[in-house]
Amino acid sequence: MTFSLDFALAAPEVILAAAALILLVWGAFQPQAGAIFTLAAIGALVAAGVAAATGPLGRGFAGGLIADQASVFAKVAIYAASAICIPLGQRWFERRGVHNFEFPVLILLAALGMGMMVSAGDLISLYVGVELHSLALYVLAAMHRDNARASEAGLKYFVLGALSSGLLLYGASLIYGFAGSTVFSDIAVAVQSGAGTGVLFGLVFLMCGLGFKVSAAPFHMWTPDVYEGAPTPVVAFFASAPKLAAMVLFARALAEGFPGAIAQWQQVLVALALMSVAVGAFAGLAQRNLKRLWAYSSIANVGYALLGLASGTGEGVQAMLMFMILYMIDVTGFFACLAALSREGRDMETIDDMAGLFRERPGIALAMSAFALSALGLPPFSGFWAKYYVFKAAINGGLGLAAVIGLVGSVVAAFYYLRLLKVMWFDDTAGATDKPPVEAKAIAISLALFSFPLVMGALVVLDPLAKTAAAALGLG
């Protein structure tokens, strides 16, 4: 493997790194240059296009980087989601008199880390990717420096993130010590007859560290506080691309590194999935702040994705990928709605703030209704198809009881989605809202149209792509 081929395999990440460095230098001299946001979004889209284009596939950098159909599938979605969040954040910050040229640069650096995560071929590149994207996210959470809640969110995320990194590193060191290698393919050979006690302990710690990154219970404690305190466009980014990247990394590490220990890690995944569904469903019932409510919703949805992965089959990986793509679209659209809404310059973040929204802003109210119904799992919205894939894979993988428990959790969570719909459509208005920014409204309505009816056509394209990506990971 030559360096030129290694370089070609990492071309999307090279583009992101170059764009971030160039825009960082530009911003240092012209911090209020609005073109930085536009160029950053273009850079993310170019990286997505390069990832999607037919190019070399294989392993580079001594097995530390993998370019396959799974990484391509994930990178296109991650970089596209990053590009969407950049203009969303630009207008949100400008309306509050904040000019942060660092925002798009940090988005690009986070996307770079996520690209490394989905292409990780060993424990070292896994950790580098996780830390690169995490460090950018810590700063993004505290981006609104004059807001005490944002500063608190950034600090909490950093402290708890350091704890998760310690768990992940400790697990990686145990795996290396007992398996004799950091490369996933070599680890798979060492545990082809099942993981020994030492490797198993390391694997559990590794899964705990990754569980924090996807905000799976019981490692979810940072999620509600960070979602509530961080700027709304930042939360839109938190809840979408990083979750997909961490789930693909989860799948790759387990499928390529521990295929001989499915019976062992499957039990851990099922426990994480069911705890996440329960915590997300029941804790969400008590929430009045929409950002905290959607934080618990994201915890529950991660549980559904983990349930698909826990089946230990190629169908389960495909279900997880389909679920995460459709979930990303819904959650980005919902937070775009929140970013578009304000009243007398004050953010509208509680359920009570949404009273009578349909009379004030019917377009945004319809979009939020579509996202709520989709998250509820009502057919034929995209959320229904996402859960259909997951429950089908779980049942076919012998996890029928876990699928039933997950379905019960979905029914419980329906209460808070329906409560939001009732407040928006039937309660008396809480007052006139400010004119929403064009970008946020356009993003919200476009993604709502994807949730239904465009999803019906998109499934025809996404299904075979997800199946091919799942096959690249080698389970089942």
Q: pLDDT tens digits for 289-347?
A: 999 999 999 999 999 999 999 988 889 999 999 999 999 999 999 999 999 988 887 88
Q: Which residue type occupies 283?
A: A
Quick one: average pLDDT of 259-275?
89
Q: Kindly report the pTM of this predicted structure.
A: 0.94
CB contact at 8 A, 70 and 473 = yes
Q: What's the pLDDT tens digit per position in 403-444?
A: 999 999 999 998 989 999 999 999 888 778 888 888 888 999
Contact 376, 446 (CB under 8 A): no
pLDDT value, residue 54 = 66
Tokens of 338: 């929140």
Q: What totals of helices (H) and strands (E) does the chain contain, helices first? A: 21, 4
Q: Dihedral through CA 368, CA 373, CA 377, CA 378, nearest 10?
A: -150
pLDDT tens, 30-78? 877 678 899 999 999 999 999 988 667 888 888 888 888 999 999 999 9
Which run of H or E residues covers position 329? helix 314-340
CB-count burial class (<10 Å; 0-12, 13-18, 19+) for 163 = middle
User: If you average pLDDT over every residue of the chain, what do you get?
Assistant: 89
Q: Dump pLDDT digits (tens) for 92-142.
A: 888 877 778 889 999 999 999 999 999 998 999 999 999 999 999 999 988
Percentage of the chain surpassing pLDDT 90? 53
Give the alpha-carbon dihedral of 17, 20, 26, 32, to 10 degrees. 180
Confidence band, pLDDT 50/70/90 cuts, at residue 27? confident
Domain of 357? 3-473
Q: Which helix (H) or strand (E) holds 415?
A: helix 400-426
Q: CA torsion sign, 398 to 404 to 406 to 410?
A: positive
Q: How many domains does the chain have?
A: 1
Task: Check if the beta carbon of residue 140 is closer than 8 Å to that of residue 230.
Answer: yes
329 touches 450 (CB < 8 A):
yes
Average pLDDT over residues 157-182: 90
Given the structure tokens 């037919």, which residue do they identify? Answer: 54
- Asked if the model's pLDDT at residue 18 lies above 90, the reply is yes
pLDDT digits (tens, 9 = 90+) for 378-407: 889 999 999 999 999 999 999 999 999 999
